[in-house]
Amino acid sequence: MSLAADTREAVRSRPFVFDALRAGLLNHSAAAAWLAEAAALDGEPDAVAAALRRFREDLPAYATESRGTTVSMRSGVGLSAADGAAEGDAGEPLLRVGDAAVAPEGDRTAIVATGDVDAAALGASLRRLAVRDIEVPAAGVAENTLVCVVGRRDGPDAVRIVEAALDAVPTPDST
């Protein structure tokens, strides 16, 4: 492969570099020096920086659109085995993943976003919660519903964090 192709592959395999490049926030020279070492690229950092600049020109603009979502908080949830989970308002647990379920009784809080949510929205929410040191013992997204379970005291902060994440992550149509 060419140095340009190797550089693009190195960027694609490091999503944080890809996002920064796409958003126009990447220092090309510093990223090139780091990528040359981290990805063992066979080329001078100046050549890698030039490849990064050309790659940036080919990427669509990093833009976000308002997602049609509603974020709410449900206190008093817990985690249990899915086969023995207590029934929720609609006759089902809030979230069922494998052998685990978010049940409507417990000492935790569920942050529930409904509407235009997807895996990217979940990923952005989880990254932001992690940066704020909020533990998330269970999370998932399916059929226009995103759920993140947090500690009871973290609920109000987590609602604001998830709302901000949903406002900042590109919608599927804008990527």
- CATH code at 135? 3.30.70.260
Helix (H) or strand (E) holding 34: helix 28-38
The verdict on 71 and 29 lying in the same domain is no
Structure tokens at 167: 């406002």
* DSSP tag of 170: P
Residues 6+ apart with CB under 8 A from 104: 74, 76, 77, 86, 87, 88, 89, 93, 94
In a domain, 75, yes or no: yes
> What pLDDT, on the 0 to 100 scale, is given for residue 169?
80
Q: Which domain holds residue 21?
A: 3-58
The verdict on 137 and 108 lying in the same domain is yes
- Higher-scoring residue by pLDDT: 171, 2: 2
In this prediction the pTM is 0.71
With a cut of 70, say whether residue 98 has pLDDT above it: no
